[in-house]
Each structure stands twice: as structure tokens, then as C-alpha cells.
Structure 1
């Protein structure tokens, strides 16, 4: 069945870019998936869906203007889901209703954030400790978000998977329209094996499409995960930072086409785009270099198999040092190409 034909509780999911292919989505990442980064990714082959950074919801919160801009000023032509994170039911409902006043693809509830400062407040991944609370939140939000998709992003559990099936049944009870499932627990954070078998269990158990999430680092890995889980699509996070071509590469692989090689000179141009953040003129050089390094930590893993670029990159302190190093590794030899997957062991 085509992804576009999945019928939800009251509404359909936004149409995918390619109706004959599984869905792709850029995972929401705080301080990364802002309007600027969505526009950058869009230059290289957009995913079907974008998700915003989370709107933090509490008694005093207001819609964050910079996150809201990723909805109101978004010219990528791709649907944008607005993600919320919180545990106060009245304030989650109020925020969801406010968000529905904007041109959003749907409202997404974060039930998987592994940051201790979040889960200790019983929000994000902390909600997985309280299925009864989840039941109440999903019920109230389902009523509040009744004319467009209401989606959930979650993990397998908090410390273990004891509540996993119970919460999947709540996903069904409240007619959630799309489930993005990271195949680790909250306390696993981003380490250890991703349990794709449990994602496959979720696919069989819930009545909505499931996006498989967790360590999808290449097109080949995406195809493997889709085959193993039967998911409706994949959600890619950190590895889209390192390889913005990944969504187009996934589509090429799904069509059994040869994946077009990416010359390292194009990687150098990508780094230039990352450097030119809209707020750049107001950011001190040292902080700006540090922010770029956050991206380069992922990019570098596909540059050279020995990890020399990664090691030297981390030692640079100024823009001149960093860009000279980038030129040395990415511009000098125009025949070299970006690896299709991160080099193992780097």
C-alpha cells in the first residue's frame, strides 16, 4: 500500500515526495533542526517530512519565535510537524491548539528525549515511566488536535522495555496518526545496539505508520532497516548532519539505482553553507568555530578512513586554521569522493 493511502483517525498524512517509496523524515534535534538547517538540507535532497525543534511547554512557556519561524518562514515546500515537549496536560493542550493556528503538517509529542534535565522533570523520555499519565495526555491531545495529524516520537522505554507494549496499545487507543520510534531506551541515549526487532513488533502492533529511527547512517542501512522492520519509512537524525545527501541516496537505493558519488569538493561547499548561519555576524569566532565543529564531528567520519581529518579538526581553534585544514583534505584532490557510510573505527 502506498504511504499516501494510510487512513488516520480523521485525516491523512501529508503527501510524500515520491508516492511509490517509503517515507523519509529529518529527526528533530534541538539547536540543529532550525529553519536555516532545514533550508540547507533542502539543497541536497529534502526528506518527505521535517520536524521542528521541540517547543518546551510549561506553566509560563510561550511559543518560541525562532522555532515558530521554521514553520511560518519555511519555503522548502515540505510539510513541517511542530513538536512539543512537556508534562502539564492543560498547557500541552493550550500549546497544541495555538500551533494548530499555523500552517503545520501536524502536532508531534516528544516522549523520547534522553536529556537528564528533561526526563528528570517527567517530560520527554520521562513520560515512558508513567503509562497512566501518557494515557491522559494522549487522550486530551487527540481531542485538541482533531483536524490534522497528531503524531508521537518515542523510545522503547525508559530503563527497559517493561512499558513498551502497554504504551503501544495507548497509541492505538488514541488513534495516533504516525509513530516515530527510536530503537533504544532513554537511558541508552545514543549508545549501544538499536533494537530493530522491537520496531518490527511495533509495526505489527499499531494501526498507524511507523518511522524507524536510530543509527540509520547510510542508504544501505536504511534499506536493511526497512526490510527488517516493515516500517513505513525511516527517520534520520545525526547522520543527516554528517551527510545531507542521505535522503536522496536512500531514494536512489530504493529504486535500485547507483548512488551518485559526492566529490569531496562538494563537502567543502556544504561546510561553507554551515558556516554562514544567519546569526553568524553576532557570534564570536571561537563560538562559531565550536558550533561548526559539532557538525564536522559527523562529516569527518566519512572523509578519510584513518580519522586524521577528525583528529586534526578537533585541534583547530580559529576559522583560518579550520578552513585551511578543510581545504587540505577536501579540495586538493578533486578525484576523491565522500564515503557512502561512516568509516568503521574512526
Structure 2
């Protein structure tokens, strides 16, 4: 799964974000070494989501793709994994970290961390059934970290091909400091590669995270929405080269690219502008510190208004900051929270 890459960069599986079109945009700015799909919901009557499957079968990046599943029904998980193996995936990942209440209340995603024995059974069966690399994305625990060591022991027993650890508990969602020392504990405990996940926002910060966690690389999500150059910046840093910083016009070009590339047929202008605001919640954190740009974007409802606000703030050649400003994102957004 690591394909000789050391350290590895991966784009996180972000639901309703990590589409084929978003991957296409990410790749235009350098892209990661590895892409993870949005999760396939798995239950007794589930079928492979055609929209997500499209990102696998029509993968525009030229990079390996890991298909992620979420669920707790063992026969259904086995069936789905075997179906996914018939498609061009480099591996299959099980989501044990999703913090969305609608997910964890069904004992799926991060909800499974409350039941280590059930998690143990699921991993054992999937490890035996899956014939390609098998990985897990997890958190430090559900309510707290009391059973974190037990979970690491369970992961170790199943000889995963890759483990990604987000350095918060499920209940913390994205609204607290990331515990990189806890990720380091996992890296020292398991015998397989581990990716550090959570609030990686620049190449310099990525180097600090790598040094602290002793991980095999990084999985980056919200930081890549805000800064699609981050993967190229990390590669430059690893080579000892100067890290190129985007200008305002570079960011403007990125936003215009997103606007055009993410259009879904049939096109409805107001709905599309509303969809783009999900991305702008995070891009805006790197534009100015007072929230003026973000508040102006939130009031737009047409393409003309949307792009006009962007051009008013970004049509310049000044370098943009790498560190996000501390502007609160809408609380209702599942990806909202601390970015530093």
C-alpha cells in the first residue's frame, strides 16, 4: 500500500467532499500519494454507491485509491469488501472514527470504539476475507482515551497493512487540540505503518508532526481544502527545497477552478453556490483574520456575487499565510472546529 513512498501523503476521506471532481482539482495542484474515497455505507441491504464507485472506476489522478467502508454488519461488510475487490482499488479501509452523531449512534464509525470486542470480531473476519491490503482509520477513543491501549492491542493482533490515527476522541469531533503524543504511542505500539491525522496545515507543521509522532506520513483533510498546494509543499520540504507560497491570485484561481469543476448536472446556480460554501468555510480561514470575507461569502446566492466577493479580496499578488486564522466555522458543519 505504501508503494515505497516514505513518508506518505494521503488525502482524507471526507464525506460529501472527496468526490472524483475534488480529486481532479487536488491533483492539478500536485495531489497526495494516496486517495481515500468517501465511505461506502454498509448494511444488510446496501449496494455500492454509484457516485463513490465512479471515483474509483474513473479515477482521474493516476494515484492509488483506497475504498473506505463504514458499518457493523459482518456479512454485509464481507460482501461489500469482495465487491470492491473487483474494482481498481489499492486497498480497503474500515472507518472506525467518524464523529457524526447520525453514524456513531448506530454503532458504526467512531461508535464502534465503545465496543472493543465487537471491533475485534469485525477486524478478524475482514482481515481473513480481504485479499488486498486492509487498513483502518480510527480515533483515540469514544468519550475518552481509557480504552486506547486496548484498541491498539486489537489493531496489532490483526496485522493491518496501514493504520491512520486522528488525534482526538469521537466526542471531541474537531473542536480540541490534536494529541500528537497519543499518535506517537500508536506508532511505537503497532508493527505496521501509521499515518498521523489531524490539523496538518503546512509543510513546516507537517515536519513537526512527523517528528513528534514518528509516523510513516500524514493523512490531510481540511488542511488540503484550504491549501491544495500542501502536498507539493511537503514534497519540496522533504527535498530541502524552498516551499512555494500561493499569492492571492493563486487562491482566486483555485476557487474559480473549484467552482467550475464541481458543477453537477443539472446545473442550478443557487444550489451550486450553496454547495461551494462548504469548501469556502475552510478556504476563508487563510484569507483574512476578521471573518469579513467569510461573512460576505455566506451572504452570496449567485455566481456573480460569489466570484465578485472572491475577486474583491484575492485579486492581488501578496503571499497568503500558511497558518489558518482562528475564525469560527459554522457549528453545524461536521468538519467545523479547531484548525491549529
TM-score after normalising by structure 2: 0.93
Cα distance in 1 for partners of 2:18, 2:250 equals 21
Q: Structure 2 residue aligned with 1:336, among 296, 313, 318?
A: 318
Cα distance in 1 for partners of 2:184, 2:117 equals 24
Give the conservation status (yes or no) of the 8 Å contact 1:212–1:235: yes
C-alpha displacement at 1:208, in angstroms?
0.7
Cα distance in 1 for partners of 2:267, 2:154 equals 45
C-alpha displacement at 1:14, in angstroms?
4.2
Cα distance in 1 for partners of 2:290, 2:241 equals 29
After the TM superposition, which parts of structure 1 deviate over 4 Å for at least 4 consecutive aligned residues?
Answer: none
Give the conservation status (yes or no) of the 8 Å contact 2:285–2:327: no
Q: Structure 1 residue aligned with 2:68, among 60, 83, 86?
A: 83
Cα distance in 1 for partners of 2:205, 2:262 equals 33
Give the conservation status (yes or no) of the 8 Å contact 1:14–1:79: no
SS in structure 2 of the partner of residue 66 of structure 1: helix
1:15 aligns with 2:10: no
SS in structure 1 of the partner of residue 126 of structure 2: helix
Cα distance in 1 for partners of 2:267, 2:175 equals 32
Gaps of 5+ in 2: 329-340
Equivalence for 1:181: 165
| Bigger mean CA offset, 233-242 vs 304-313 | 304-313
| Bigger mean CA offset, 34-43 vs 298-307 | 298-307
**CA offsets per residue over residues 129-150 of structure 1, 9 Å max, x none?**
111111110111001113x210
SS in structure 2 of the partner of residue 234 of structure 1: strand
C-alpha displacement at 1:276, in angstroms?
1.7
Equivalence for 1:99: 84
Equivalence for 1:8: none
Equivalence for 1:52: 37
1:39 aligns with 2:21: no
C-alpha displacement at 1:345, in angstroms?
5.3
Q: Structure 2 residue aligned with 1:244, among 228, 238, 247?
A: 228
SS in structure 2 of the partner of residue 282 of structure 1: coil
Give the conservation status (yes or no) of the 8 Å contact 2:134–2:161: yes
Gaps of 5+ in 1: 1-12
SS in structure 1 of the partner of residue 218 of structure 2: strand
SS in structure 2 of the partner of residue 276 of structure 1: helix
Q: Structure 1 residue aligned with 2:10, among 21, 25, 29?
A: 25
C-alpha displacement at 1:286, in angstroms?
1.9
Number of aligned residue pairs: 328
CA RMSD after TM alignment: 1.4
1:235 aligns with 2:215: no
Cα distance in 1 for partners of 2:19, 2:308 equals 28
Cα distance in 2 for partners of 1:58, 1:323 equals 41
Q: Structure 1 residue aligned with 2:174, among 190, 195, 204?
A: 190
C-alpha displacement at 1:318, in angstroms?
2.0
Give the conservation status (yes or no) of the 8 Å contact 1:113–1:124: yes
Cα distance in 1 for partners of 2:107, 2:268 equals 35
